[in-house]
Each structure stands twice: as structure tokens, then as C-alpha cells.
């Protein structure tokens, strides 16, 4: 018999505040040097939509923080798996900025967000170990990889993995890139299952590139030069990230697929981090080109058009929505082979080949 690591339950929380592209028409967008653009916001926003595919995104209400969103998603995942939460061995929570209260400028990670979620769930078991991981946007996938490791070495049977973020709290209103970011949370239960054949997590690959790529995403000053210089916001070098992702993510996906010994023709879905529609399309196209194949129809579901980029939450949220039949013309079935893949700050990349 084989011990497999299987996702037995999923959950997500989609915030209720809808922020449409048109809501940015009154923003005073500036270039990095603080100078204004030569064209109106309508042009800025249309160019943004054409590249990213984003038409609207979700923000958390003022009364909710990242750990609250994570708790909501975790509770749904536990209920979906039908497990006793006291049996959890680990709670692994991926985020980037901790709890940032609305209109605040400080990140709060004391105690850890994982501990806060465990507290909110009311778990009494002290042997349920709760901790956070910082791995950029690929954090939730990396948490699943860690759960797989715990299960394979026999120190865990049930793990709760959460990805939660409120990026709307750390954006510079004068930076047009701020339109990319959103809030949300996704979670899953990874359990050890004894089977006669392989299922669940079949293989994975991960890497961190820092020699030239470390600060492609970083905390920096507002583009408004009159802003407080001690306040920092999320910033990125978009072109460099695009080129890095295009050159490296397909190779990481291929490395994971090669380890699994699965034929690429058997891949039914690729759940890729919802960062940028054009970038994701280019990554998938290059991945299939490595195998001298065209991209199959409907292989890459998307949620970015209405949910934006919620970092660690995009992949688990997308998986949960499709698993529960909430995205049109997209579905998965028992036995399907899928890939989870992501790229983000660090710069980090990872991929998992999974048999549903």
C-alpha cells in the first residue's frame, strides 16, 4: 500500500467589496519619478485591462483583516473535508504582509496569523502546530508541499494549508500597478490516505532565484514625492517579472511533470497563479511548446477578470471555485491530472502535479 497526500476539502473567502476599473478614474496616477502621464486615466485603465484581463477586483471590508479571511476559508475547508479539527497536526498559513488594519501603516504578525486562525477555530489540541510561511505568491502551494513532506515522513496525517492576503491595504494609489492587487483567502485540508495506487500529490518542483531577481518585488516609497518617505507600499518591476516568469515557470512545471512520469496529454487543468492574463497565457503556451504541443482548449481556468490578483489566495480560491462548479465551462473529475503552479516575490517558483 502507498501513503498518498490527498486534498480532501477546500474552502475560500471572496470579499464583498467590488472595486471596478472605473473606480480608478479619479486616481492621480504618476510615473516612478513623480511626473504625470501624458494621457488620461481612461487610456491608462484600458491598457491595464488589455494586458492583465482584470475588470474588477475584491477588497475586504474595513472590519476584516487577513487572518479573518483565512479563518473563513479554513472553516469551509474543514467542513468540506468532514474532519474533526482537533485531529489537525499542522496549520500552515501563507501570507506576505500579516494583518494590516484598514487605514493603518503597520503590519501585525504577533502572534502569527496561523495562531490567530487556530484561536478563532477554537482548537484545543496543543499538538496542532500553527505557523506562517513567507514565500511570495507561491506561498499556498509551498505550504501544500510542506504538508506533503510531513505526511511522507510520518509526522502528520492531517494538515490545514491557508493562503490569505489583503493587498488593498499596502498599495500606492498613485501607482497604476495598484490596480492589479486584491484581497481574498483560500484553504485546503491535506490528508494522508493509504491506497494501492498513486493519487493526490504525485510530484513537485520549487526554486528560489535571488542573484539578480531578489528585489523584483519590494517595499518602496509612493510615486507621490510629497508622501511620507517612511511609509512603504508594494512595488514591482513588471517587465522583469514577466520575463523571469516566462523563462522559468514553464521549466519548473516541466520538471515536476517529468518527475511524475505523467504524459502531458493527460493534463486536464492547470491552476496557475492569477497574476496577469497575458503572462499566464504566455507561460502556458511556452510550457506546451516545450512538449511540441498546442495549448488544449479550456486547460487554463481564470478568475482574475473579476477577482484580481490576491497573491497566495489565487490558486486555492480558483481550485475551490472550480471544484464546486462555480466557474462557467470549467470542471474537474475524479482521476483528472492537474498542475498547480505559481511565481512571486523572492523570486520563487513552484509547481505540483496532482491526481484528483
Q: Assess whether pLDDT exceeds 90 at residue 322.
A: yes
Angle, nearest 10°, between helix axes 314-323 and 66-81? 30
Q: What is the pLDDT of residues 211-240, one digit of tens each?
A: 999 999 999 999 999 998 889 999 999 999
Confidence check: pLDDT of 197 > 90: no
pLDDT one-digit tens code per residue, 33-92: 989 888 899 998 999 999 999 999 999 999 999 999 999 999 999 999 999 999 999 999
d(CA 107, CA 115): 16
Domains of the chain: 2-195 (3.40.47.10), 200-355 (3.40.47.10)
Exposed/middle/buried for residue 193 (C-beta within 10 Å: 0-12, 13-18, 19+): middle
Say if residue 302's pLDDT is above 90. Answer: yes
Q: Quick check: 196 pLDDT over 90?
A: no
CB-CB contact of 141 with 315 (8 Å): yes
Q: Are 12 and 18 in contact (CB under 8 A)?
A: no
pLDDT, residue 103, reads 83
User: By CB neighbour count within 10 A (0-12 exposed, 13-18 middle, 19+ buried), where does 229 fall?
Assistant: exposed
Which pTM value belongs to this model?
Answer: 0.96
Amino acid at each position: 500500500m502507498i501513503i498518498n497526500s490527498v486534498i480532501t476539502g477546500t474552502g475560500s473567502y471572496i470579499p464583498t467589496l467590488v472595486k471596478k476599473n472605473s473606480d480608478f478614474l479619479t486616481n492621480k496616477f504618476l510615473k516612478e519619478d513623480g511626473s504625470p502621464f501624458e494621457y488620461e486615466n481612461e487610456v491608462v485603465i484600458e491598457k491595464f485591462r488589455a494586458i492583465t484581463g482584470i475588470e474588477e477586483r475584491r477588497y475586504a471590508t474595513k472590519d476584516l483583516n487577513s487572518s479573518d479571511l483565512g479563518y473563513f476559508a479554513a472553516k469551509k475547508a474543514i467542513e468540506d473535508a468532514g474532519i474533526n479539527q482537533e485531529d489537525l497536526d499542522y496549520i500552515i498559513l501563507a501570507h506576505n504582509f500579516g494583518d494590516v488594519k484598514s487605514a493603518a501603516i503597520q503590519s501585525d504578525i504577533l502572534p502569527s496569523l496561523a495562531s490567530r486562525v487556530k484561536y478563532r477555530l477554537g482548537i484545543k489540541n496543543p499538538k496542532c502546530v500553527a505557523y506562517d510561511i513567507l514565500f511570495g505568491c507561491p506561498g499556498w502551494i509551498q505550504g501544500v508541499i510542506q504538508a506533503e513532506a510531513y505526511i511522507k515522513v510520518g509526522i502528520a496525517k492531517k494538515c490545514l494549508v491557508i493562503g490569505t492576503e489583503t493587498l488593498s491595504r499596502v498599495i500606492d494609489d498613485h501607482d497604476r500597478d495598484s490596480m492589479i492587487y486584491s484581497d481574498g483567502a483560500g484553504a485546503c485540508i491535506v490528508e494522508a490516505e493509504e491506497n494501492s495506487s498513486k493519487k493526490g500529490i504525485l510530484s513537485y518542483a520549487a526554486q528560489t532565484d535571488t542573484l539578480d531577481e531578489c528585489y523584483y518585488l519590494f517595499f518602496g516609497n509612493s510615486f507621490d514625492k510629497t508622501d511620507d518617505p517612511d511609509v512603504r507600499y508594494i512595488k514591482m518591476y513588471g517587465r522583469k517579472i514577466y520575463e523571469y516568469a516566462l523563462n522559468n515557470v514553464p521549466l519548473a512545471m516541466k520538471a515536476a511533470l517529468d518527475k511524475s512520469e505523467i504524459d502531458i496529454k493527460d493534463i486536464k487543468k492547470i491552476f496557475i497563479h492569477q497574476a496577469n492574463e497575458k503572462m499566464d497565457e504566455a507561460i502556458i503556451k511556452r510550457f506546451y511548446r516545450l512538449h511540441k504541443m498546442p495549448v488544449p482548449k479550456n486547460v487554463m481556468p481564470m478568475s482574475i477578470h473579476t477577482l484580481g490578483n490576491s497573491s497566495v489566495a489565487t490558486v486555492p480560491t480558483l481550485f475551490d471555485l472550480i471544484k464546486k462548479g462555480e466557474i462557467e465551462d470549467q470542471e474537474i473529475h475524479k482521476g483528472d491530472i492537474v498542475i498547480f503552479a505559481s511565481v512571486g516575490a523572492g523570486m520563487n517558483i513552484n509547481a505540483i502535479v496532482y491526481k484528483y
